[in-house]
Amino acid sequence: MELVNITSEILLFLFCVGFVSGLVDSIAGGGGLIALPALLFIGLPPQMALGTNKLQGSFGTFTAAWNYIKKGPATLREAVPGIFFTLLGATSGTLLIQSLDSALIKPLIPVLLLLVFIYTLFSGHLGKEDRAPKMNKNIFYALFGICLGFYDGFFGPGTGSFWTVAFMFFAGFNMTKATGYTKIMNFTSNIVALFWFILGGNVVYSIGLTMAAGQVVGARIGSNLAIKNGTGFIRPIFLTVVLFTIMRLVYMNYISIT
């Protein structure tokens, strides 16, 4: 049963959305802020929009993560513990969201993101250069991998922002390096969540793959710009993305009544 009348105009629109989403997400996260509303706008039911978003987003995060690994800011070997724990968390979160309403967690996220925004805004030194870690690496990955993996599978918006700040504050990474490792963790939770959404029948492949083509192009360009220009380039985009994510979630959870 076709849920949406998929025309060539809609596919072109979605390709462009995928491109912009991949571009922004590879630099500062928040691609879902662009892609998910577009999927809801064309008429997909919420869970199917979430599943299709994971399909297209997986291509973008993979492209960005591979570029960060290939060009040096991140290494796959260093990320292995985080990948493992994120996989566990994302599996739990995705299984739960397909059987429960996420209304319990949604109102808390804008508040947490606001704290991330304020802290990053007024901590001018944060992310400028590598610093001594504040937490053992394995404990860090176990804690944030399970929690943020679960959250990304369960709901999602703001996951990249939480990861980036966690890497900068607790692991002592500069912002470029933190962004690179964030993409690896994002890809892990995306691909795990995608697997379970596919099993649940909540993915529209024609739409997801069209957006994925745009994601790949955008993520390649965006990650190259971030690697080349560093923290000074990433920071204002990161803060802007977090601010718009907060505004959207506040509107969805506290203002809009459906």
Of residues 53 and 257, more confidently modeled: 53
Count CB-CB contacts under 10 A for residue 96: 13
Q: CA 17, CA 1: separation in Å to the nearest integer?
A: 25
Mean of the pLDDT values across residues 72-76?
Answer: 87
Secondary structure of residue 3 in the 3-state scheme? coil
* CA 189/CA 93 separation, integer angstroms: 10
Mean pLDDT for 188-207 is: 90
For the chain, the structural domain boundaries read: 8-255
Interval 175-187 mean pLDDT: 93
Name the least confident of 45-49, 144-148, 190-194: 45-49
- Given a cut of 50, is residue 1 above it in pLDDT? no
DSSP 122-169: H-TTTTSS----SS-HHHHHHHHHHHHHHHHHHT-TTHHHHHHHHHHH
pLDDT tens for residues 9-44? 999 999 999 999 999 989 988 788 788 888 988 888
Tokens at 226, concatenated: 């971030």
Q: What is the mean pLDDT of residues 88-97?
A: 81
pLDDT tens-digit series, residues 166-176: 999 999 999 99
Please state, in angstroms and rounded to a whole number, the distance separating the CA atoms of residues 41 and 138: 41
83-97, 107-121, 184-198: least confident range: 107-121
pLDDT in tens, 97-133: 666 555 655 676 677 778 888 877 777 677 778 888 9
- At residue 246, the pLDDT reads 82
Q: pTM of this prediction? A: 0.84
Name the pLDDT band for 52 (thresholds 50, 70, 90).
very high
Neighbours of 122 (CB within 10 A): 8
